[in-house]
């Protein structure tokens, strides 16, 4: 049984870092997260949010309103395409949160692969009309195509006070710690030794799923490669080759019946020859 939804929290110097992962639906545990938030700033890492259904959107909007109502300043970083889609569809989806960065979908027609590229809100400052930046495919070097409608995908930026984000996010980061962005990266990588300030504590909330395609189910075996599939067998050594050759040269259990069959055949031929010789002698004697 795998985790459908999980939330990892780490608290530091007057901030709480929250990393959400999976699907936000009616089984989410957002309500229990609010009691664990500490400090002035709540940083939400949303890169691994795969999908949000209508029930999840309702709970998300209510939860975010409650968090902001307790005087927390919310900063959303690395918003996944699923988060951006909801931000474009639901007016109050982001509440008063500050969006710092988000992912955008790209596609390489030459390699037939998709790639999400991380963009910052700051890089769209001064644009009358938001347009997708240019990226090259890491495999073939060909220019990637933006895999959505630019006008629709970047629409949420019109509701973002970019000047406020420019100044406010920087002041928040400086207020909490001058190197909070580096701390966020360290938290994602699990490298707690690089963090300064008071000792961090970690909490994890998970929602399991009974999806038949989850790990251990028949569907997962059909769709996902196993570790065995990815193992490259070593090349045979000279000793192994000699062993196989000697084994092949030695008759196995199946060779014995064939040998006995040959002996019986030769014996019958010999008996037949003797009988023919006796018959010849008898014929000559009678003459």
Q: What is the edge-to-edge ordering of all strands in the sheet holding 113-120?
A: 113-120, 101-108, 145-146
CATH no. of 3-105+114-122+148-222: 3.30.750.24
Whether the pLDDT of residue 253 is over 50: the answer is no
Pairwise CA distance, residues 58 & 66, whole Å: 13
**Predicted local confidence at residue 255, as pLDDT:** 42
Pairwise CA distance, residues 184 & 43, whole Å: 9
Residue 176 and residue 13 in contact, taking contact as beta carbons nearer than 8 Å? yes
- pTM listed for this prediction: 0.62
Enumerate the β-bridge partners of residue 145.
107
* Residue 217 pLDDT level (bands cut at 50, 70, 90): very low
Whether the pLDDT of residue 194 is over 60: the answer is no
- pLDDT, one tens digit per residue, over 28-73 is 889 888 888 988 889 899 999 999 999 999 999 999 999 998 888 8
Local structure of 45: helix, strand or coil: strand
Lowest mean pLDDT among 141-145, 191-195, 270-274: 191-195
**What does DSSP say about strands 101-108 and 113-120: parallel, antiparallel, or unpaired?**
antiparallel
Number of other CB atoms surrounding residue 154 within 10 Å? 22
H-run or E-run covering 49: strand 41-52
**How much is the average pLDDT of 190-218?**
45
Pairwise CA distance, residues 130 & 132, whole Å: 7
**Predicted local confidence at residue 215, as pLDDT:** 36
Enumerate the β-bridge partners of residue 280.
none
**How much is the average pLDDT of 169-175?**
59
Residues 6+ apart with CB under 8 A from 63: 30, 31, 33, 34
Greatest mean pLDDT among 65-79, 106-120, 211-225, 265-279 = 106-120
H-run or E-run covering 8: strand 3-11
- Tell the residue number behind the tokens 């870092």, with chain if given: 17
Give percent above pLDDT 90 in the chain.
35
In 3D space, the residue among 103, 87, 221 whose CA is nearest the CA of residue 157 turns out to be 87
Which residue did the predictor score with more confidence, 257 or 136? Answer: 136
| Per-residue CA distances from 199 to 12, 34, 76, 145, 240 (Å) | 7, 21, 24, 45, 55
The angle formed by the CA atoms of residues 98, 100 and 106, to the nearest 5 degrees, is: 130
* Residue 173 pLDDT level (bands cut at 50, 70, 90): low
In 3D space, the residue among 207, 208, 205 whose CA is nearest the CA of residue 1 turns out to be 208
* Residue 282 pLDDT level (bands cut at 50, 70, 90): confident
Whether the pLDDT of residue 266 is over 90: the answer is no
**Predicted local confidence at residue 275, as pLDDT:** 79
Please state the domain extents for the chain.
3-105+114-122+148-222
Pairwise CA distance, residues 164 & 98, whole Å: 9
């Amino acid at each position: 049984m795998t985790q459908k939804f999980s939330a990892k929290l780490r608290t530091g110097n007057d901030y709480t870092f929250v990393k959400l992962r999976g699907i936000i639906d009616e089984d989410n545990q957002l309500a229990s997260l609010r009691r664990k938030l500490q400090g002035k700033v709540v940083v939400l890492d949303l890169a691994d949010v795969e999908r949000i259904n209508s029930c999840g959107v309702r709970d998300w909007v209510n939860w975010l309103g409650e968090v902001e109502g307790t005087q927390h300043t919310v900063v959303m970083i690395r918003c996944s395409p699923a988060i951006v889609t909801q931000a474009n569809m639901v007016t109050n989806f982001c509440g008063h949160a500050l969006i710092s960065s988000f992912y955008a979908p790209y596609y390489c027609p030459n390699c037939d692969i998709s790639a999400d590229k991380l963009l910052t809100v700051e890089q769209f400052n001064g644009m009358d009309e938001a347009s997708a930046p240019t990226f090259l495919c890491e495999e073939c070097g060909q220019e990637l195509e933006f895999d959505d409608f630019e006008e629709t995908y970047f629409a949420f930026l019109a509701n973002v006070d970019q000047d406020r984000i420019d100044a406010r996010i920087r002041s928040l980061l400086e207020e909490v710690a001058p190197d909070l962005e580096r701390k966020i990266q360290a938290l994602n990588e699990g490298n707690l030794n690089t963090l300064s300030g008071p000792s961090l504590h970690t909490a994890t909330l998970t929602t399991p799923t009974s999806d038949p395609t989850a790990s251990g189910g028949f569907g997962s075996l059909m769709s996902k490669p196993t570790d065995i599939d990815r193992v490259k067998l070593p090349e045979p050594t000279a000793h192994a080759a000699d062993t196989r050759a000697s084994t092949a040269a030695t008759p196995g259990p199946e060779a014995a019946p064939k040998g006995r069959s040959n002996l019986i055949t030769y014996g019958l031929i010999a008996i037949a020859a003797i009988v023919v010789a006796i018959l010849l002698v008898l014929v000559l004697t009678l003459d």
